[in-house]
Chains A and B, each alone.
Chain A
Amino acid sequence: MTGRGIDGLAAARLWATDRFPYLATGLFGAQVLPVPGSGTVSVDENWRMRADPDLTAGWTAAQLGSVLVHHVCHLLRTHGERAQSLGVRPEEARNWVRAADAEINDDLIPAGLELPGRPVLPRDLGAEDGLLAEQYFAAARTTDRSGQKSGEAAGHWLDCGSGADGVPRPDDSAGHGGTTPLAPPDEPPGLPGWQAELLRRQVAQEVIAHSKQAGTVPGGLLRWAQEILSPKVNWRTVLAAELRRAVAEVSGAVDYSYRRPSRRAAVAGDVVLPALRRPVPEVAVVCDTSGSMTEDLLAAALAEVEGLLRALGMARQVRVLACDTAAGPAQRVNSARQVQLVGGGGTDMGTGIAAAVALRPRPAVTVVLTDGYTPWPARAPKGTRVVIGLLGPGAPTAPAWARSVRVDPD
């Protein structure tokens, strides 16, 4: 099978599965190929690991095992793909790999990783623990610019391969497209993208299962697993979709109209055809301005609502009501920052919604932005669709008659 030619590989993997049992599937899922003379251990995005037997011969089982775990983490955290989407240029690749190393090492070194040499840690890049590679990358950029050459000794010993920095290597495409003449023809094909994705999910499930049974999973890895299995949806996308849907339903509901003759009336003879009519709905925004609201979050949500409505071509129709226990008069605002939080004690969004419905012309869609600590009307208001933006991570649930979107700070 794999691994002939690298001494101590079996012992190293065994050490790694003992120390990190939740990564076992990932460790065994990566193929290890001996490449004499490469002087490094590297991975590509198809889960192939290339190791120089002369280099690894000098390592203990724990050291080689740690390097394997480290590289599997590059693959699990899709560092290659992330580097590409961040637009890391080949000359910056080394800095990116240092940032990616820091993301892996910050919680695995305390968990017992014994890498040879001096591994990169967040403090080498002038950053705190527990951040993402993108943040470390940005932090390292600023410290480099300010002239503090950080940690010369740390991390300059290995090329981690395209699986870590996304820069294609000549031998990566073996078995993938098979078009590169440089590729050794006898190399086994790696995992195609979708199988790598399944493997990643499998590992994430095992990490979570292990944390429930034994509870000894490093926090960063656990967060990674939770993010893979239930990715956090950007509230902007959800809010945009809900708002478009509300507007679409309103303008779609009265599509046919006999107020105007159809442009095809001449063809139809005796039959009176309805014409397609698309009314532009009125929209009202009710803002909770009680003391418990976070100003920045309200401004962000309101700006998003305004931007969306402008994209739908109806920015002029928006009226904003400020509301705590009583709704203020409708105001037209030019920018989200103009909404003032008056900081009243209690909140009742029911009065805000009632005030919105009382506006003339009546709004077809009412957007309510609140922290959720409010009584709600028992049933849906007549004649308007309600979309509720719940601001803040701890907001209670909204009533079922309205569509609600959770808006979290990011």
Chain B
Amino acid sequence: MSDNPAAEALGVAVAARVPVLLWGAPGTGKTSAIRAMARAMDLPCETVIASIREPSDFAGLPIVVGDVVRFAPPQWARRLAEAGRGLLFLDELSTAPPAVQAALLRVVLERAVGDLTLPDEVAVVAAANPPEQAADGWDLSAPLANRLCHLSWQAHPRAVADGLAGGWAAPVVPVLPDGWQAEEILARGLVAAFLHVRPALACAPPTDAASAGRGWPSPRTWEMAGRLMAAAGAAGTSDEARSALIRGAVGDGAGVEFLAWLVEMDLPDPEQVLADPASFRLPERGDRAYAALASIVAAVAANPTPERWTAGWQVLGLAANAALDMAAAAARVLAKCRPDGVALPEEVRVFAPVLKAAGLMPGG
């Protein structure tokens, strides 16, 4: 496992061929990390500093041949096209003037430079300083920001110490197993299910200029998030890197909501548990176990038939072995919605001592 989730996430994005942008203060090693990564993978790396280029360097230089105008690509694009693979590294993206940013739109997403289209195997990686840290910086335009997965790059004191002493570690680009794209269908399904619940997040262009320069949710970025999720799953990346990739693609707000929804998806379905209480398995983590019990009890309270109420007690009885206090907290809710004429079940007794110790015994 890597100590630096951003480096791990960078590797996955490059492996999935999703355009990625590293944000970080000057001097934190973004450029050297990207070059080291290309060297370690033996990929040709073409560095293009966007801020000192003209729009025609990306849109192609017009040349008249007879009565046709061709848009000639510059040499770096030709070299990448001839190699058939490689890394196109756009440095200092945020200091590029708006016109150059506009010319970059097609380069970043479609890998088109003038009349030349770079091969699919070419990965696009960019680096930028946050505008507040570079005096001559511009905010990224919203369309360009929407084509990139944004990762924030920080220098971790320990990594810096290790790097100074023993050389810098290059971010590792994982080798994705054949057929990893099949996973993408599953990941897209999850995204689609989430957007059914939160349709407002399907496309939410940023309203203020400050957040326009970062990731924001749109159909394109959701598709990107699905692809990155599949690649992260295939590469076996850490959860932290996966979270950084998803938030980088669709922005922090939508990304966090999606991640929270994914966590909730793991909880058992209360109706299924009530239909077959013996099948209930308490989730490992305390807060999820409590959430599962609370949702089951809430489902009973919403429709308290005698059968469901008794099934609820069976679940709590099972849970009490592992987590007495969580089950007891849920039991207090369940006890309040007792249907008329139903006898108190056996399981109630389990909770009496702990309720008494906590000073919560009714009437005592």
Bound complex: CA A193 to CA B99 (Å): 39
Of the listed stretches A96-104, A233-241, A335-343, chain B binds A233-241
Neighbouring B residues of A311 by C-beta, 8 Å? 135
Q: Please, which residue of chain A has its CB at the minimum distance from the CB of B239?
A: A192
**Chain A nearest CB: distance from B69 CB in Å?**
7
Bound complex: CA A403 to CA B212 (Å): 14
Instruction: Report if B286 contacts A (CB, 8 A).
Output: yes
Neighbouring B residues of A238 by C-beta, 8 Å? 208-210
Count A-B contacts at CB 8 Å: 158
Among the interface residues A24, A28, A192, A273, which one has the most CB atoms of the partner chain B within 10 A?
A28
B328 touches A202 (CB 8 A): no
Interface string of B141-156 (1 = CB under 8 A from A): 0000000000000000
**Chain B nearest CB: distance from A17 CB in Å?**
5
Partner of A14, one of B139, B212, B329: B329
Interface string of A11-33 (1 = CB under 8 A from B): 11111011000001110111100
Neighbouring B residues of A193 by C-beta, 8 Å? 240
Instruction: Report if B266 contacts A (CB, 8 A).
Output: no
Neighbouring A residues of B209 by C-beta, 8 Å? 238, 241-242, 244-245, 403
Bound complex: CA A237 to CA B211 (Å): 10
Instruction: Report if B203 contacts A (CB, 8 A).
Output: no
Contacts beyond the supplied A28-B326, A255-B55, A256-B99: 8 A-B pairs with Cβ under 8 Å:
A24-B294, A192-B238, A192-B240, A194-B244, A244-B139, A264-B56, A267-B61, A271-B64
Of the listed stretches A1-9, A134-142, A323-331, chain B binds A1-9
Bound complex: CA A287 to CA B141 (Å): 29
7 A-B contact pairs sorted by A residue (CB < 8 Å): A15-B359, A17-B329, A28-B326, A62-B359, A233-B210, A269-B63, A278-B97
Instruction: Report if B200 contacts A (CB, 8 A).
Output: no
B132 touches A248 (CB 8 A): no
Neighbouring A residues of B239 by C-beta, 8 Å? 192, 194-195
Interface bracket on A? 35 or more
**Chain B nearest CB: distance from A305 CB in Å?**
15
Instruction: Report if A294 contacts B (CB, 8 A).
Output: no
**Chain A nearest CB: distance from B92 CB in Å?**
16
A194 touches B354 (CB 8 A): no
Q: Please, which residue of chain B has its CB at the minimum distance from the CB of A249?
A: B98
Instruction: Report if B324 contacts A (CB, 8 A).
Output: yes
A177 touches B3 (CB 8 A): yes
| 8 A Cβ contacts from B265-312 to A | 282, 285-287, 289-291, 294
Q: Please, which residue of chain A has its CB at the minimum distance from the CB of B142?
A: A245
Neighbouring B residues of A237 by C-beta, 8 Å? 132, 210
A241 touches B131 (CB 8 A): yes
Partner of B325, one of A14, A25, A273, A278: A14
**Chain A nearest CB: distance from B246 CB in Å?**
10
**Chain B nearest CB: distance from A44 CB in Å?**
16
B358 touches A271 (CB 8 A): no
Instruction: Report if A410 contacts B (CB, 8 A).
Output: no
Q: Which 10 A-B pairs have the closest CB atoms?
A: A252-B98, A29-B287, A11-B357, A241-B210, A255-B99, A10-B325, A241-B209, A245-B209, A28-B286, A28-B290
Bound complex: CA A244 to CA B290 (Å): 48
Tell me what chain A mostly uses at the interface: helix, strand, loop, or mixed. Answer: helix
Q: A28-B290, A403-B209 are in contact. Are A273 and B139 (CB under 8 A)?
A: no
Interface string of B244-259 (1 = CB under 8 A from A): 1000000000001001
B360 touches A14 (CB 8 A): yes
B360 touches A198 (CB 8 A): no
| 8 A Cβ contacts from B340-355 to A | 354-355
Instruction: Report if B180 contacts A (CB, 8 A).
Output: no
Partner of B354, one of A14, A24, A269, A271: A14
Instruction: Report if B260 contacts A (CB, 8 A).
Output: yes
Among the interface residues B62, B98, B209, B290, which one has the most CB atoms of the partner chain A within 10 A?
B209
Instruction: Report if A361 contacts B (CB, 8 A).
Output: no
Q: A14-B325, A276-B54 are in contact. Are A29 and B286 (CB under 8 A)?
A: yes
Q: B residues engaging A (CB < 8 A)? A: 1, 3, 54-56, 61-64, 69, 97-99, 102, 131-132, 135-139, 208-210, 212-213, 238-240, 243-244, 256, 259-260, 263, 282, 285-287, 289-291, 294, 322-326, 328-329, 332, 354-355, 357-360
Partner of B260, one of A10, A202, A244: A202
B139 touches A248 (CB 8 A): yes
Neighbouring B residues of A86 by C-beta, 8 Å? none
Q: Please, which residue of chain A has its CB at the minimum distance from the CB of B331?
A: A14
| 8 A Cβ contacts from A118-175 to B | none
Bound complex: CA A49 to CA B135 (Å): 45
**Chain B nearest CB: distance from A258 CB in Å?**
14
**Chain B nearest CB: distance from A167 CB in Å?**
14
**Chain A nearest CB: distance from B120 CB in Å?**
30
Q: Please, which residue of chain A has its CB at the minimum distance from the CB of B294?
A: A24
Q: Please, which residue of chain B has its CB at the minimum distance from the CB of A230?
A: B253
Bound complex: CA A271 to CA B64 (Å): 7
A10 touches B259 (CB 8 A): no
Instruction: Report if A270 contacts B (CB, 8 A).
Output: yes
Instruction: Report if A292 contacts B (CB, 8 A).
Output: no
Neighbouring A residues of B355 by C-beta, 8 Å? 14
B322 touches A1 (CB 8 A): yes
Bound complex: CA A18 to CA B333 (Å): 11
Interface string of A250-293 (1 = CB under 8 A from B): 01100110000000100111110100101000000000000000
A268 touches B64 (CB 8 A): yes
Interface string of A172-195 (1 = CB under 8 A from B): 000001000000000000001111
Bound complex: CA A62 to CA B243 (Å): 38
Instruction: Report if A73 contacts B (CB, 8 A).
Output: no
B358 touches A202 (CB 8 A): no
Instruction: Report if A210 contacts B (CB, 8 A).
Output: no
Instruction: Report if A201 contacts B (CB, 8 A).
Output: yes
